[in-house]
Amino acid sequence: MVADMAASEAAERRKASGEGRKSEARVGTYVYGIVPADVEVSDDAGGGVGGPSAKVTVVRHDDIAALVSELRLDRPLGTPDDLMAHEGLLDATAAEVPVLPVRFGAVVTNPEAVVEELLAPYHDEFHAALDELEGRAEYVIKGRYVEQAVLTEIMEERPDLAELREQIKDQPEEATRDTRIQIGEIVDQAVNAKREADTQAALDAVTPVATLTSLRDPSHELDAVHLAVLVETARENELEQVVDKIGERWAGRVELRVLGPLAAYDFIVARGTGGG
Amino acid sequence: MTVQPAGGVAQRPTATGLADVIDSILDKGLVIDAYVRVSLVGIELLTIDARIVVASVDTYLRYAEAVNRLDLSESGGQGLPELMQNMKQGMVADKGKDAVEGVLESAADKLEGLVGGPEDDQERQPSRRRKDGG
């Protein structure tokens, strides 16, 4: 499988270089994001979307530029490697310079089209957005309940659960299905209420150090907090201190992580839906 | 102001995991279609739905089982903070970690399954759970 791919890749490249015009669109230009024009891609940057041979380059127009790489169009996109390559490049970039992340999977015909249809017509719009991001990056705060701890809390708060629990104790699952569902619903509602309260507490704590905040949908039923913040990179330490303080307060009941610096995925508002 | 809080509760991983990546790049960021029209290349995207947010009967039954297994020390008089402290020192911390890793793994499994072929892996229960006796 791997050998086959390597062989066909080589054949494809020969073919692509043989034909001057890629009118069949066998190869496209993958677009990662938009950056200021003075950005350079370092040589040690890893491969892009589409494998290690996909070399990331910069297409410039005036004051702005796009990070792109060549992409073969003979397979669907979205393998774990593709996803990691996309975000890896954007986050590494965001740690250094402002970058407008493009949603995963953006492909245009060639680098000239990137200039003509993306960079040139929207130059001022992108330039203004990059200015706003100067010196700032996104961080994501993720908290996950420690199941046993949060269930213990809920049992304390809901005495009716203990009673229901007695009813299913040592009973076969089939015989107690309704009671189990009833227990589960109560727990689920209680977890949701806790998530709401804990998310608000986290939001209140980080708001003073953040330029912007944005709530994310929970990505797991035991999520306690899922929050994106735009922070001046110079204040990263302050953010960490604030989050550590919450983490200490929640020790044993919530596992808290900070991801970042990341590209500002949660703060790029689509065209026509207003600025952020 | 640079004092490092003891304990280091909030961890700072050097790299984000696949599950974190999925949350960031699939439905966020600039949508190229809003800008580029003529030279857009349509390419098939592997559909990924790693989210398991909507509570279902499965979720309820799982919670019920967890409640059933929950070992409340009935020694009485023990306050909640103490109780949680004990649990933290015991097996609970490990279990929480297992659950988190299980979900991350299964998100990755799912992606690999999709890449390998169009098997209907999507319906699989994402969170694997060992059945501990007792």
> In angstroms, rounded to a whole number, what is the distance separating the alpha carbons of residues A51 and A8?
13
List CB contacts (< 8 A) between A31 and chain B: 32
**CB-closest option in A73, A118, A161 to B67:** A161
Q: Choosing among B1, B11, B30, B75, which should be mutated to test the A contact, i.e. which has the most A CBs within 10 A?
A: B30
Residue with tokens 């040589």: A43
- Contact at CB, A181 and B31, closer than 8 angstroms: no
Please tell me if residue B62 touches chain A, with a CB cutoff of 8 Å: yes
> In angstroms, rounded to a whole number, what is the distance separating the alpha carbons of residues A201 and A223?
14
> In angstroms, rounded to a whole number, what is the distance separating the alpha carbons of residues A247 and A236?
16
**For residue A245, how many other CB atoms are within 10 A of its CB?**
14
- How far is C-alpha B26 from the chain's CA centre? 17
Please tell me if residue A125 touches chain B, with a CB cutoff of 8 Å: no
Please tell me if residue A187 touches chain B, with a CB cutoff of 8 Å: yes
**CB-closest option in A149, A165, A184 to B87:** A149
Residue type for position B123: E
Per-residue pLDDT at A16 exceeds 70: no
- Contact at CB, B29 and A268, closer than 8 angstroms: yes
Residue with tokens 């299913």: A168
pLDDT-derived band at A158, boundaries 50, 70, 90: very high
- Contact at CB, B96 and A255, closer than 8 angstroms: yes
- CA closest to B40 among chain A residues: A108
| pLDDT score for A32 | 97
Helical H segments across chain A, by residue range: 2-18, 80-94, 111-113, 123-133, 147-157, 159-168, 177-206, 236-249
- Residue pair A270/B31 in contact (Cβ under 8 Å)? The answer is yes
Distances (CA, A) of A164 to A49, A160, A169, A177, A185: 52, 6, 9, 12, 12
Q: Which of residues 39-58 of B touch A (CB under 8 A)?
A: 39-48, 50-53, 55, 57
List CB contacts (< 8 A) between B66 and chain A: 147-148, 151, 187
Min CA distance, B117 vs chain A (Å)? 11
Residue ranges per structural domain of chain B = 35-67
- Residue pair A94/A102 in contact (Cβ under 8 Å)? The answer is no
> In angstroms, rounded to a whole number, what is the distance separating the alpha carbons of residues A107 and A70?
9
Please tell me if residue B66 touches chain A, with a CB cutoff of 8 Å: yes
- The chain-wide mean pLDDT, for chain A, equals 88
- Contact at CB, B30 and A107, closer than 8 angstroms: no
Closest residue by Cα to residue A140 from A47, A17, A269, A261:
A261
Residue with tokens 């986290």: A202
Helices and strands in chain A, H and E counts: 8, 9
Min CA distance, A15 vs chain B (Å)? 20
Residue with tokens 């704590």: A205
- Residue pair A201/A246 in contact (Cβ under 8 Å)? The answer is yes
**DSSP letter string over A72-83?**
E-SS-B--HHHH
List CB contacts (< 8 A) between A216 and chain B: 23
Per-residue pLDDT at A160 exceeds 50: yes
Mind listing the pLDDT tens digit for each residue in A28-75? 999 999 999 999 988 766 778 988 888 999 999 999 999 999 999 988
Mind listing the pLDDT tens digit for each residue in A200-230? 999 999 999 999 999 999 988 899 999 999 9
Per-residue pLDDT at A272 exceeds 90: no
Flag whether the pTM goes above 0.90. no
The strand pair at A212-215 and A223-232 is best described as antiparallel
- Contact at CB, A149 and B18, closer than 8 angstroms: no
Per-residue pLDDT at A116 exceeds 70: yes
